[in-house]
Chain A
Amino acid sequence: MSEQDPVNPIAFNDIDRLIHEPARLVIVACLAVVEGADFLFLMRQTDLTKGNLSSHLSKLEEAGLVDIKKEFVNKIPRTFLSLSGKGRQAFEEYQNKMSAFLKGD
Protein backbone atom coordinates (compact mmCIF):
# COMPACT_ATOMS: atom_id res chain seq x y z
CA MET A 1 0.00 0.00 0.00
CA SER A 2 1.59 3.30 -1.04
CA GLU A 3 1.67 6.41 1.15
CA GLN A 4 -0.55 8.30 -1.26
CA ASP A 5 -3.39 5.82 -0.93
CA PRO A 6 -6.22 7.06 1.23
CA VAL A 7 -6.45 4.51 4.02
CA ASN A 8 -9.23 4.25 6.52
CA PRO A 9 -7.41 2.85 9.60
CA ILE A 10 -10.66 2.08 11.40
CA ALA A 11 -11.91 -0.06 8.51
CA PHE A 12 -8.57 -1.84 8.17
CA ASN A 13 -8.34 -2.60 11.89
CA ASP A 14 -11.69 -4.30 11.51
CA ILE A 15 -10.20 -6.90 9.16
CA ASP A 16 -9.78 -10.38 10.66
CA ARG A 17 -5.97 -10.66 10.94
CA LEU A 18 -6.15 -14.41 11.53
CA ILE A 19 -7.60 -14.94 8.05
CA HIS A 20 -5.73 -12.05 6.45
CA GLU A 21 -2.32 -13.72 6.76
CA PRO A 22 -1.54 -14.90 3.15
CA ALA A 23 -0.97 -18.62 3.85
CA ARG A 24 -4.04 -18.85 6.08
CA LEU A 25 -6.11 -16.93 3.53
CA VAL A 26 -5.21 -19.53 0.89
CA ILE A 27 -6.08 -22.37 3.30
CA VAL A 28 -9.42 -20.82 4.25
CA ALA A 29 -10.25 -19.97 0.61
CA CYS A 30 -9.47 -23.55 -0.47
CA LEU A 31 -11.65 -24.98 2.29
CA ALA A 32 -14.42 -22.46 1.57
CA VAL A 33 -15.00 -23.77 -1.97
CA VAL A 34 -15.28 -27.43 -0.98
CA GLU A 35 -17.15 -29.43 1.65
CA GLY A 36 -13.86 -30.68 3.01
CA ALA A 37 -10.47 -32.11 2.09
CA ASP A 38 -7.77 -34.15 3.73
CA PHE A 39 -4.43 -32.77 4.84
CA LEU A 40 -2.57 -34.16 1.82
CA PHE A 41 -4.97 -32.60 -0.68
CA LEU A 42 -4.70 -29.24 1.05
CA MET A 43 -0.91 -29.52 1.16
CA ARG A 44 -0.80 -30.15 -2.61
CA GLN A 45 -3.20 -27.31 -3.34
CA THR A 46 -1.55 -24.70 -1.16
CA ASP A 47 2.08 -25.70 -1.84
CA LEU A 48 2.78 -25.25 1.86
CA THR A 49 5.16 -27.55 3.71
CA LYS A 50 3.79 -30.08 6.15
CA GLY A 51 5.02 -28.09 9.17
CA ASN A 52 3.77 -24.78 7.85
CA LEU A 53 0.34 -26.13 7.03
CA SER A 54 0.09 -27.88 10.41
CA SER A 55 0.95 -24.73 12.32
CA HIS A 56 -1.55 -22.57 10.40
CA LEU A 57 -4.26 -25.21 10.77
CA SER A 58 -3.65 -25.37 14.52
CA LYS A 59 -4.21 -21.62 14.77
CA LEU A 60 -7.38 -21.83 12.68
CA GLU A 61 -8.64 -24.76 14.75
CA GLU A 62 -7.93 -22.92 18.00
CA ALA A 63 -10.04 -20.02 16.75
CA GLY A 64 -12.82 -22.47 15.87
CA LEU A 65 -12.66 -21.68 12.15
CA VAL A 66 -11.62 -25.15 11.00
CA ASP A 67 -12.94 -28.58 12.03
CA ILE A 68 -10.34 -31.33 12.11
CA LYS A 69 -11.36 -34.99 12.06
CA LYS A 70 -9.03 -37.98 12.22
CA GLU A 71 -10.14 -41.03 10.25
CA PHE A 72 -8.68 -44.22 8.79
CA VAL A 73 -8.58 -44.87 5.04
CA ASN A 74 -7.21 -48.31 4.08
CA LYS A 75 -5.70 -48.57 7.58
CA ILE A 76 -3.81 -45.29 7.06
CA PRO A 77 -4.77 -42.45 9.41
CA ARG A 78 -5.94 -39.36 7.54
CA THR A 79 -6.77 -35.90 8.79
CA PHE A 80 -9.93 -34.55 7.25
CA LEU A 81 -10.42 -30.79 7.33
CA SER A 82 -13.41 -28.59 6.76
CA LEU A 83 -14.39 -25.03 7.44
CA SER A 84 -16.70 -24.78 10.44
CA GLY A 85 -19.91 -22.75 10.37
CA LYS A 86 -18.08 -20.04 12.28
CA GLY A 87 -15.22 -20.26 9.78
CA ARG A 88 -17.53 -19.82 6.78
CA GLN A 89 -19.18 -16.85 8.42
CA ALA A 90 -15.83 -15.30 9.35
CA PHE A 91 -14.53 -15.75 5.79
CA GLU A 92 -17.68 -14.18 4.34
CA GLU A 93 -17.30 -11.20 6.67
CA TYR A 94 -13.61 -10.96 5.79
CA GLN A 95 -14.46 -10.90 2.07
CA ASN A 96 -17.13 -8.23 2.55
CA LYS A 97 -14.87 -6.04 4.65
CA MET A 98 -11.88 -6.45 2.36
CA SER A 99 -13.84 -5.67 -0.79
CA ALA A 100 -15.37 -2.62 0.91
CA PHE A 101 -11.90 -1.58 2.07
CA LEU A 102 -10.35 -2.09 -1.38
CA LYS A 103 -13.17 -0.13 -3.00
CA GLY A 104 -12.48 2.63 -0.49
CA ASP A 105 -15.96 2.58 1.07
Chain B
Amino acid sequence: MNELPDLKKLERKMFQTLFQDGIYEFAFAVLFLGMALNPWLAENGISKAFLYTFELILAATIIVLGKRIFTVPRLGRVKFSEKRKKISLNILMGGILLNVLFLMAGFVFQDGIANQGNSNYMLTILFSFGFLLIFAVLAYLSSFPTLFLAGLLFATSIPVSEYLYPYLGEPADGMIPFGISALIILALGITKLSNFLNSNPKEMVEVSDV
Protein backbone atom coordinates (compact mmCIF):
# COMPACT_ATOMS: atom_id res chain seq x y z
CA MET B 1 0.00 0.00 0.00
CA ASN B 2 1.69 3.17 -1.14
CA GLU B 3 -0.96 5.77 -0.39
CA LEU B 4 -3.25 6.66 2.47
CA PRO B 5 -7.01 6.25 2.16
CA ASP B 6 -8.84 9.48 1.33
CA LEU B 7 -11.08 9.67 4.38
CA LYS B 8 -13.43 12.32 3.02
CA LYS B 9 -14.04 10.26 -0.10
CA LEU B 10 -14.47 7.12 1.99
CA GLU B 11 -17.02 8.77 4.28
CA ARG B 12 -18.93 10.11 1.27
CA LYS B 13 -18.93 6.65 -0.33
CA MET B 14 -20.18 5.06 2.89
CA PHE B 15 -22.91 7.70 3.19
CA GLN B 16 -23.97 7.08 -0.41
CA THR B 17 -24.59 3.40 0.32
CA LEU B 18 -27.63 4.54 2.29
CA PHE B 19 -29.23 5.69 -0.97
CA GLN B 20 -28.59 2.54 -3.01
CA ASP B 21 -31.76 0.78 -1.81
CA GLY B 22 -34.17 2.84 -3.94
CA ILE B 23 -36.43 3.61 -0.96
CA TYR B 24 -36.20 7.40 -1.41
CA GLU B 25 -37.16 6.98 -5.07
CA PHE B 26 -40.40 5.27 -3.98
CA ALA B 27 -41.13 8.20 -1.67
CA PHE B 28 -40.50 10.68 -4.50
CA ALA B 29 -42.74 8.60 -6.79
CA VAL B 30 -45.58 8.95 -4.27
CA LEU B 31 -45.09 12.74 -4.18
CA PHE B 32 -45.08 12.98 -7.98
CA LEU B 33 -48.11 10.71 -8.22
CA GLY B 34 -49.82 13.01 -5.75
CA MET B 35 -49.02 16.05 -7.90
CA ALA B 36 -50.49 14.19 -10.89
CA LEU B 37 -53.67 13.03 -9.19
CA ASN B 38 -54.41 15.76 -6.64
CA PRO B 39 -56.19 18.16 -9.06
CA TRP B 40 -58.44 15.32 -10.21
CA LEU B 41 -59.11 14.10 -6.65
CA ALA B 42 -59.74 17.69 -5.54
CA GLU B 43 -62.36 18.03 -8.28
CA ASN B 44 -64.07 15.06 -6.67
CA GLY B 45 -64.42 16.88 -3.38
CA ILE B 46 -61.30 15.84 -1.45
CA SER B 47 -59.46 18.72 0.19
CA LYS B 48 -56.06 19.52 -1.34
CA ALA B 49 -54.56 20.17 2.11
CA PHE B 50 -55.65 16.70 3.22
CA LEU B 51 -54.20 15.12 0.07
CA TYR B 52 -50.80 16.81 0.37
CA THR B 53 -50.58 15.96 4.09
CA PHE B 54 -51.58 12.36 3.42
CA GLU B 55 -48.96 12.02 0.66
CA LEU B 56 -46.20 13.51 2.80
CA ILE B 57 -47.07 11.11 5.63
CA LEU B 58 -47.21 8.20 3.17
CA ALA B 59 -43.79 9.12 1.71
CA ALA B 60 -42.27 9.39 5.21
CA THR B 61 -43.83 6.04 6.17
CA ILE B 62 -42.37 4.40 3.05
CA ILE B 63 -38.91 5.67 4.01
CA VAL B 64 -39.13 4.55 7.65
CA LEU B 65 -40.66 1.12 6.93
CA GLY B 66 -38.54 0.55 3.82
CA LYS B 67 -35.35 1.19 5.75
CA ARG B 68 -36.53 -1.06 8.59
CA ILE B 69 -37.75 -3.93 6.40
CA PHE B 70 -35.30 -3.90 3.48
CA THR B 71 -32.19 -1.88 4.27
CA VAL B 72 -31.12 -2.49 7.86
CA PRO B 73 -31.38 -6.32 7.76
CA ARG B 74 -29.23 -6.36 4.61
CA LEU B 75 -26.86 -3.46 4.98
CA GLY B 76 -26.51 -3.22 8.74
CA ARG B 77 -26.57 -0.14 10.93
CA VAL B 78 -24.22 2.81 11.01
CA LYS B 79 -23.98 5.97 13.08
CA PHE B 80 -22.40 8.80 11.15
CA SER B 81 -20.42 11.56 12.82
CA GLU B 82 -22.11 14.56 14.43
CA LYS B 83 -20.71 16.71 11.62
CA ARG B 84 -22.40 14.57 8.94
CA LYS B 85 -25.68 14.54 10.91
CA LYS B 86 -25.54 18.33 11.20
CA ILE B 87 -24.79 18.75 7.48
CA SER B 88 -27.66 16.40 6.54
CA LEU B 89 -30.10 18.22 8.83
CA ASN B 90 -29.03 21.61 7.47
CA ILE B 91 -29.45 20.38 3.90
CA LEU B 92 -32.91 19.01 4.69
CA MET B 93 -34.10 22.14 6.49
CA GLY B 94 -32.49 24.47 3.95
CA GLY B 95 -34.00 22.47 1.09
CA ILE B 96 -37.50 22.54 2.60
CA LEU B 97 -37.25 26.27 3.37
CA LEU B 98 -35.95 27.18 -0.08
CA ASN B 99 -38.58 25.09 -1.82
CA VAL B 100 -41.42 26.53 0.25
CA LEU B 101 -40.18 30.10 -0.34
CA PHE B 102 -39.80 29.43 -4.03
CA LEU B 103 -43.24 27.84 -4.30
CA MET B 104 -44.80 30.80 -2.49
CA ALA B 105 -43.00 33.23 -4.78
CA GLY B 106 -44.19 31.20 -7.77
CA PHE B 107 -47.83 31.27 -6.65
CA VAL B 108 -47.66 35.03 -5.98
CA PHE B 109 -46.22 35.71 -9.45
CA GLN B 110 -48.65 33.30 -11.10
CA ASP B 111 -51.66 34.94 -9.43
CA GLY B 112 -50.42 38.38 -10.43
CA ILE B 113 -50.09 37.33 -14.03
CA ALA B 114 -53.44 35.55 -14.01
CA ASN B 115 -55.11 38.70 -12.60
CA GLN B 116 -53.67 40.72 -15.47
CA GLY B 117 -55.13 38.20 -17.87
CA ASN B 118 -51.72 37.32 -19.29
CA SER B 119 -49.80 34.11 -19.61
CA ASN B 120 -46.07 34.41 -19.13
CA TYR B 121 -44.44 31.26 -20.36
CA MET B 122 -40.95 32.63 -19.84
CA LEU B 123 -41.66 33.19 -16.15
CA THR B 124 -42.75 29.57 -15.78
CA ILE B 125 -39.52 28.40 -17.38
CA LEU B 126 -37.51 30.72 -15.14
CA PHE B 127 -39.39 29.41 -12.11
CA SER B 128 -38.69 25.81 -13.19
CA PHE B 129 -35.03 26.58 -13.78
CA GLY B 130 -34.79 28.04 -10.27
CA PHE B 131 -36.22 24.81 -8.85
CA LEU B 132 -33.78 22.76 -10.87
CA LEU B 133 -30.92 24.84 -9.53
CA ILE B 134 -32.04 24.33 -5.91
CA PHE B 135 -32.36 20.58 -6.41
CA ALA B 136 -28.98 20.41 -8.18
CA VAL B 137 -27.27 22.11 -5.24
CA LEU B 138 -29.10 19.86 -2.75
CA ALA B 139 -28.14 16.77 -4.77
CA TYR B 140 -24.50 17.80 -4.77
CA LEU B 141 -24.40 18.65 -1.07
CA SER B 142 -26.20 15.48 -0.02
CA SER B 143 -24.32 13.17 -2.44
CA PHE B 144 -27.73 11.93 -3.62
CA PRO B 145 -28.08 12.28 -7.44
CA THR B 146 -31.78 11.29 -7.45
CA LEU B 147 -32.53 14.70 -5.97
CA PHE B 148 -31.28 16.21 -9.21
CA LEU B 149 -33.43 13.84 -11.25
CA ALA B 150 -36.46 14.74 -9.11
CA GLY B 151 -35.69 18.43 -9.62
CA LEU B 152 -35.29 17.92 -13.36
CA LEU B 153 -38.58 16.03 -13.65
CA PHE B 154 -40.39 18.62 -11.55
CA ALA B 155 -38.84 21.51 -13.48
CA THR B 156 -39.85 19.89 -16.78
CA SER B 157 -43.36 18.96 -15.67
CA ILE B 158 -44.37 22.53 -14.79
CA PRO B 159 -43.89 24.11 -18.26
CA VAL B 160 -45.18 20.97 -19.99
CA SER B 161 -48.30 21.15 -17.85
CA GLU B 162 -48.77 24.81 -18.76
CA TYR B 163 -48.21 24.01 -22.43
CA LEU B 164 -50.85 21.23 -22.32
CA TYR B 165 -53.45 23.32 -20.47
CA PRO B 166 -55.01 25.03 -23.53
CA TYR B 167 -55.36 21.65 -25.27
CA LEU B 168 -56.41 19.38 -22.41
CA GLY B 169 -57.58 21.65 -19.60
CA GLU B 170 -57.51 20.63 -15.94
CA PRO B 171 -56.75 18.09 -14.51
CA ALA B 172 -55.28 16.25 -17.53
CA ASP B 173 -52.65 18.96 -18.14
CA GLY B 174 -50.85 18.07 -14.90
CA MET B 175 -51.70 14.39 -14.82
CA ILE B 176 -49.64 13.56 -17.91
CA PRO B 177 -46.27 15.20 -17.12
CA PHE B 178 -46.34 14.53 -13.38
CA GLY B 179 -47.67 11.00 -13.95
CA ILE B 180 -44.85 10.25 -16.39
CA SER B 181 -42.35 11.70 -13.90
CA ALA B 182 -43.78 9.46 -11.17
CA LEU B 183 -43.41 6.42 -13.43
CA ILE B 184 -39.80 7.30 -14.34
CA ILE B 185 -38.77 7.71 -10.71
CA LEU B 186 -40.74 4.61 -9.70
CA ALA B 187 -38.93 2.57 -12.38
CA LEU B 188 -35.61 3.83 -11.03
CA GLY B 189 -36.67 2.89 -7.50
CA ILE B 190 -37.71 -0.62 -8.55
CA THR B 191 -34.42 -1.14 -10.42
CA LYS B 192 -32.34 0.10 -7.50
CA LEU B 193 -34.29 -1.94 -4.95
CA SER B 194 -34.04 -5.16 -6.96
CA ASN B 195 -30.29 -4.65 -7.48
CA PHE B 196 -29.92 -3.93 -3.78
CA LEU B 197 -31.87 -7.04 -2.77
CA ASN B 198 -29.86 -9.22 -5.15
CA SER B 199 -26.47 -7.99 -4.04
CA ASN B 200 -27.23 -7.81 -0.31
CA PRO B 201 -28.89 -10.98 1.03
CA LYS B 202 -30.84 -10.64 4.25
CA GLU B 203 -28.95 -11.69 7.37
CA MET B 204 -31.46 -13.41 9.62
CA VAL B 205 -29.00 -14.33 12.33
CA GLU B 206 -26.11 -12.59 14.01
CA VAL B 207 -23.26 -12.63 11.50
CA SER B 208 -20.48 -11.80 13.89
CA ASP B 209 -18.56 -14.27 15.99
CA VAL B 210 -16.24 -11.65 17.45
- Which residues in A have some Cβ–Cβ distance to B below 8 Å? 1, 20, 22, 25-26, 29-30, 32-45, 50-51, 53-54, 57-58, 61, 68, 73, 76-80, 95, 98-99, 102
Contacts and interface: CB of A to CB of B under 8 A. Distances in A.
Given A25-B5, A35-B81, A79-B206, A30 B76 contact: no
Contacts of A43: 76, 207
B203 interface: yes
B81 A37 contact: no
Give the dominant DSSP class at A's interface: helix
Given A34-B79, A79-B208, A44 B4 contact: no
Contacts of A53: 208
Contacts of A102: 2-4
A41 B13 CA distance: 13
Contacts of B80: 34-35
Give the dominant DSSP class at B's interface: loop
A57 B10 CA distance: 19
Contact of A39 (B3, B4, B76, B79): B76
Contacts of A41: 75-78
Interface string B57-80: 000000000000000101111111
Contacts of A34: 11, 14, 78-81
22 contacts: A22-B1, A25-B1, A32-B7, A33-B10, A33-B11, A34-B81, A35-B80, A35-B82, A37-B79, A38-B78, A39-B208, A40-B74, A40-B75, A40-B207, A43-B76, A45-B17, A50-B209, A73-B77, A77-B206, A78-B206, A95-B4, A102-B3
Nearest to A60: B210
B173 to A, nearest CB: 45
A-B residue pairs, 6 tightest by C-beta: A41-B76, A40-B76, A39-B208, A33-B11, A79-B208, A35-B79
B47 interface: no
B206 A42 contact: no
A53 B76 CA distance: 15
Given A38-B78, A41-B76, A45-B14, A29 B5 contact: yes
